[in-house]
Structures are given as structure tokens and as C-alpha cells.
Structure 1
């Protein structure tokens, strides 16, 4: 099966399996994409937050370490400016270079300053500069009285009432911490301590990525420290100043786009020095790991999706297996095959239930077809029987007329009467194919029947008819409705008594309905016999004299035609009488121009 055939097979328009497969695939794809995006965005945000936290902690630690050193230097400056014997007296001494006294003063000052910075690697030089031109220092680089004309000296004199910080550039980068030396409320000099710039670089060498940038700015926005490995696309001085000003109001960590490149900017302000430390971390470098994670997530998602596609195909095939079996069985039955294995689908789910219903339908169809075949065979047999029994009624009439003529010639009036009655009976039955007769026609049929039956018994049988209204004789009733009742009255009611019998037929209107009563003066019937007669109980039916199909057939025909409100009802007193009451609707005789109408 090629790929296009597979696509056609799983097409949602063609199969349930295709719909299930597509549904599983879409749900899985949406779920995997959603989870992947959520995980990636969460990891990206986590990496950013971790970077901010890490850089903030590193800056805080660097700032605290630097503050410790600056506090120590401030204490050294305090020791210097408060030392009268060595520092103040030397600066105020009138001795000039080069004299023995000046040499002694320089030696004493050098020993004093050297003792202050011994074992302090972060201090590269300490110097005492008098306004009178005297310069004393320990460490390097070399310093002479030309320092008095530098901007650093001017800055120290303007800001050194407590302590001042100045960044040197040029021969040696360093941070100079200075303080005025005062005597009698007058400034006589300045003490300056140079902090090693290498120490500051080491302290602030906290970069989460290689292209991150660290800046330290003083209160005036001037650079105290900047990363020497700053790439060529580093922000300009003015941009750093702008970021510094914005962060004073926005907070400690923000995201900024600088020259089209996105950065995370972390800042910290030192409460001791007033310096602000800025760390700029490029987002693309920070998220390099997240990019690898994104690639990994994409690869895993594709693998998972493929696995789910295969699994969903297998699951959908498994789920629809019974449906395909049921479809095959239906196509098998469609071709006219009603016999197939009845245990092919054993599941108890909806498909199994459909299978059982389908099997029941096929079995019912098979039963109906068998019934149709049986009915067709019976129909053919009946047609053959009817064909064999098709004797022309006139032939029978002529034969009976011959018998009647011979009886008359031979002086046998009883045979003549019976033959005539039989002729009229046959004419009524065979000559009228309608299902209905009038009450008049039905009573005439009964009279002919009694004229025949009375010769069967030694005692006469008297028939009395009472008609409440002659219009009732034109009402339509079912054909051969009274004869079975009269037959039961004569044969089973009057006949066993061997006495004169009476059959009374009353036709009257009862609540706008037609009522016909057939009463005999025979031996009567019991309640059990009533049930057997009307089909209410089939027990001992064959042994009962009322088990014939006549009365029951009349009752069922009336109920089937007019409903349960009508039918035959029996009343009897054993040894006295039996009365069969027929309840019918009043129906006018059907004419050529009008349909039958219930009165």
C-alpha cells in the first residue's frame, strides 16, 4: 500500500479510524507544541532570573569587599592626618632640601608611611603632599611636587574634607582616596592612598558571559571602573549615563535595547561610596544555553510526535477493528448471505452491542424470509386447491335442481325442501363475494339453515325472529355471523334434550348500537364453557362441546373489525337457556354512490 493509499484510507471522510487518527494527531500536536513553548519560555525566564540573581549577588559581594578596603584606607588616612609629631610637624618644618634635617624628616616619614601599608597588597602607594611643596610617599609610582598642579590635587582640596575618590588614568590606573591635612583650621596638605586597579578588576571580575560588561560610576556619573574586555559594540559613555539615570527611578534590574541589541541591566548603588555598579548582560549570549535547550526540545517533540502518530495509528486500528469486521459482515449479508459465524465479535462495548443487534436483525430477516417462502408455498398450494375446487356454481345448482325435481316426481316433499334450502344457501354463499350482508339477508340464510337442520331431529325446531324496527334489517353485518351461533344452539343446546326446541332471534337498537340476541331453550353452559367458547381459556377445549371455532371466530372477527367495545357476550342458566348477544355498530348498507356510514 503506497502513501497516497494510506492517506485515502485514513481520510476522515472515509473511515472512523481516520477521524480517530486525525483527532489523536491534532490533540497530540497541540499538546506537544503548547508544552514545549511553555517549558521553553519558563526555562528562558528562569535563566534570566538566575542570571539577574547571580549578577546581583556578585555585584553586592564585590561592592561589600571594596567597601571593606575603602574603610580600611579611610582609617589609614585618619591615622595620617591626626599624627602631629610625624606628619603635621614635618609638613610645617622650615627645613628645605637638601639638608640633614630634611633628610631625617623624610626618613622618619617614609618609615611611618611604609609601616601603614605593609602587608596590604591592595594599596600600591601612600603619599603626603604639603601645600608648601613637600612630598613624601611610600610605594610606586614616583611622585614629586608636580602633583600640586594636577587635577587630582585640585579635586582632593575641593572634596577632601572627609574622603575623596579619584580615578587616575595614564601611566598607572588606580583609585586614589585622599583627605586634607589640617592644622589650626587651615589646610596644610593632603594624604592620598592609591588602591591597586588590579585589585578592583579582580573584585569586579564577575561576568556571567564573556561579552558581559561591568561599569562602576561615581556620584557625578564618571567612570570609576569599566570592563577592559568590553567588545567593540559596547554602549557609549553617554548611553551608560542615560541607563544610569533611568535605573535611579526604574529599579535594580531592567531589560533595555541598546543599538538594536537586547540587554539585561543590573545595577547596585553603594551606600558607603555613592558609586553605582552597572552590569550589562547580552540576552543572546545569556540565552545561548536556552537555544540549545530549544533545539533539544524541538528534537524531542518531533520524536514524541512521531511515536504518538504510530501509537495513535495502532490504537485507532485496534479500536475500529470490530467496526471493520461489522462492516464486512454487513457487506457479506448485503450480497444475500444470511449465514455467517455468530461469535466473530466478542467485545461488550457499543460495537459489540451493535453486532448483537445486527445478528438479531439478520436472524429476524432470515425468519421472515422463511415465513415468506412458506407463505408463497402455501399460496401456491391454495391456488392449486382453489383451481381443483373451481366447479361452476351453475353445475351444482343444476344438480341440486335435478334432485329437487326427482323428489317432487317421487312425492318426497322433505327432500324437495332440503334441496331447495341448500340451493338458496349455496346461492347466498357462493353467489355473494362481499364480506358484509344485511341483517335481512343474514336472517334468510339462518332460515334456510334451520329448514335443513330440522329434519335431523325427531322433535320440531321452532325459529322465532323479533325485529324492533324494520330499518334495522338494512343494517350491514359480517357475513355468516348468525349461523355459527344458531348451529351451536341447535346442535349443542337443543339437540341433546330430544324435545321441541326454540330458537329466538331478537334484533333491536340499544343506545344507538345494533344488538342481536340468539337464545335457545337448551341445557345451558357453565362459566368454564363460556371461557372455552370465546377463546378465553384453552384448557380442555377439545373435550368441550363449545370448543368449535364458530362462536370464537365470530367474536374475533367482530373485535378485529370494530374494536374491543364490540363482540359476542354469553349469558346462560344451566338447564334453562343460553343467550348469545352480539353488539355491533349500526352501519347503513353500502350503495353505489355512497360509502357505508355508521348511524
Structure 2
């Protein structure tokens, strides 16, 4: 007796029972893991808050110094000091400036010293003097400040400058803020600079209350990765601040067999990076033993879960996966595939239904394709038959004869071009014509339009040698040239140019219509390309969007669909356009020999 196969429903029931039991067993493992993760998350959040607070305090400190430099610049005596025409009053201005700077130093204890440097190398300072007679205006820090486009320049370690502090401050004890002074009457002319040295101890005071546990600490580095301030710690230089990338984030570094987590953020105002460093092992040491045993139990549980999942899922997932793969193939247009497994369960029934659906879709697509092709061909025939060739030729010949009688050569040329235009367009009912005839047709159209628009544009027709005998679909260039004139050249200012070119690349022929008109915005170009792509689907109402509210126009749509219907989806037209520069339309057409 044949045992019936288990249904999908029963297999899913067994899988659900197994999955429900697993959380109950693993509950004792997940708890410690969540606890340790929670501690790590709290430490990270605390570190980020500390970094944000330190960064805010540093910006506040630098902003105050920038305001002080603005106040110094606005002081009349200091302003006159930077002017070269002070004359006999120069000493008076310098004394008043010294007095004002003394007052600033008494109210700003974070400042180590202030110096005024004029563009002609005169200096005024309470506690700073030159070391040598070399000009300060040629030193790198001065040149960097006066060449900067920002309001102030921050120099974290002003090493090697020609300045001595009478209070004993060295280059490792201060951070310099330099503000260039500009002539109010000539903004691009630099009259000097204001140097304010910030005591590094004031930055240390900002970090005094910042604690990151027993082993954690904060440090500050400048734009070049050089340390501005760091506590005395054996790991600080091994962490290598230069290796930090980006303006904000986190990274891991290994030092002395410990993994350190570094959280950092760069100030958009000062350019400095504030980083917090703490040992992950130190933070999680209290829960490490719980995690160790939890990992052992959890590993065993996960292994059991994997084995059960593989066992239960294999009998369900494999045929479902195969059916899904077949569906993906069908989405790409391959309707020759079939579900071949002989199953009696629900998946087998789905497979049989899938086979019937694929067969029905394939039949419907073939039916729609042939109906659409016949419809397009009928529409084109109707459009072509609306013009009566004999009547049109006789009328144009009569007009040309009358123009010659009246010696109106311009009318003769115009009628001749129009005759050529209609002769190629009708071409005795032939759908394919030589490339030279197609180029004559578009040349006649361009001649007529040039006469109409006078000096609005010029045109050039270029064809590679040896390809004029290739056969192409007729009247595929004229609609594109018409679009170039009405939507490109006509909208631009001044005289434009249209280039029509033809060249062969291997088995394909590329016809190009390029103009230097107004072009198309990026959003309109994207919509146009989407319409070209969607036209391959051959919906019965697709022409409505193209002809009325679309972006391509009936003529260009007609060209694209004719090429597609005759030669397949690899051929048609493509657009390239830049707003304010111009548009390039390329036709890809098979190279058909005579």
C-alpha cells in the first residue's frame, strides 16, 4: 500500500513546533547576551554625549576668541596701528593698543598672549618679543593665515616661529588663533594680522570632568591628525590618530592584546577631532564569565536549530526554490520553460498550474504581437496612401514651370526640393530605400526649412565612404531633424547648427542627428528614455501617451516603433541631451546590403 505524501501544511506544522521550542530553550542564553550588549551600548552613548559636550565647549571657547579678535580689530587705536599713514601718532596708538590688550588679558585668563603684526612687520605685544630680526610676515603661520579665506586660522602647535613669550609659554603650551586684517577700502589688501595664543591648560580644564570609566579617556587632534591635547597614557600614540578616517564614526584598534573602541567626531567649525577611547574588554569584564557560558550553551542550541531547520526546510524549500527560479526565467521573457517534477502534493499542483499559465501567456503575447504589427503596418499604409502621387507630381511640375516662366529661381529651387521630398517619401510603395535616397530626402527637408527660417541655422550632412548603397527604412531621419529644429534650434538664441551623419560599425549602421539647441533638462530626458523603453511592450494604448502628452512626439515614436517592429528590440533610437548645450539622437539600424 502506497503511503501518501505529507502535505505542505503538515510539514509547516512540524517546522513551527520546532521553532517554538527553540526560543524556550535559548531564553537563558539570550538574556546574558542582551545584558552585555546593553552595557556596551550605554558606554557608547555616554562616550558620544561626552564627545558632543567637549566639542561644544571647544567651539564656544574658539568662538569667544574670534569675537575678541573682532573686538580688537574694531578698536580705533588698533585699527590705526594697522594703517601705514599713522605718522607721529603711531606711538600713541601703540600705547593705547597695549593698554587695551592688557585689559583683555586680565578678563580672559585662558589667553597666553596677544600680538599685533602689521603688513610692514611692525609688532605690538605685552608679553611677546622677537627672537631674531627676521620678519614675522614671511613666516609660514602668518602666510597661511593671510592666505586663508576663512575668518580665523587655528594652528594647533606653532612650532618654529620667531616669537618668545616672556611668561615662559612654549609652542607645546599654546594653540594659536590668527585673524588677518583687511583694508576696509581695499578688501583684498592685507594690512596685518592679530595673533592670540590660547593656553593648552584651558583645554585640559574642559576635559577634567570627562570620565570614560577606569581606563577610558578623551583626546583632541587637528585636521592633520596631530595631537592637540591628550592625557598621559601609554596607548595614546599606539592608537595612531592619523589613521582615523572621515568626519564622524567609530573604529577598533588592538593594543597590548586588548581591543580599544574609538568614537570620534570632527567639528565643522574648528576642524578638530574629539575622540573617546575605551577598552571593550574592560567594559565587559564583569559580564565576560556569563557571556562565556552563555556562548557555549547558545552554540549548542544554534547547532541543533540549524540541523532541525535543514531537515524540515529541505523537503519544502527545494521544490519551491525551483518553482521560483522558473518564475524568474519567465519574467525575463523565456516562456519555453516548464515545471517537470511529478509531484502529487500542493507544490505539484502549483507546478501544473504554472505550466498552464506560461502556455497561456505565451499564446497571448504572440497574438498581441502579431495584432500590433498588423495594426502599425496598416496605420503606415493609410498615412502613405493619403497622398495621391500623380496629382501631387503634376501639380508641383506645373508650379515649377510657372516659376521658371517668371524667372523666380528661388521658387524653382523650393519646389524642386519639395518634389524630391515627396518622391523619396512615397518611393513607389517601397518600405526600404538606399541610404543615399534617405539623405537626399532629409537634405531637401533641411533646404526647405532653412529657406523658411533664413539665417536661424546651418546644417551639415556627413556620410562615411562606401555605405551610401546600404538599404534603410525610409523617412526615419526627417522626423528627428524636425524635432531638432522645433524643439532645439528654434528655442535657442542666435544661429544654430544641425549635423546629420552616417557611419557603419560592424553589422550595424548608426545614423545621428545632432543639434546645438536648447537641449533638455535631466528629468525630461529621463522620462523620454523611459518612454522609449516602455514602447517595446507594445501596449495597445501606448501611442496615446506618445502622441499627445508624451515627450517624444508622434514622428519620433513612429520611427522608433517601425525600427523595433522590423528588426527587434536591439535596434531603435537613443537620446543624449544636456540643458543649454544641445541634443544628440542616434538611430541604430542593421547594415543591409543591396
TM-score between the two structures when normalised by the length of structure 2: 0.38
TM-score between the two structures when normalised by the length of structure 1: 0.38
Larger Rg: 1
RCO higher in structure (CA 8 A, sep ≥6): 2
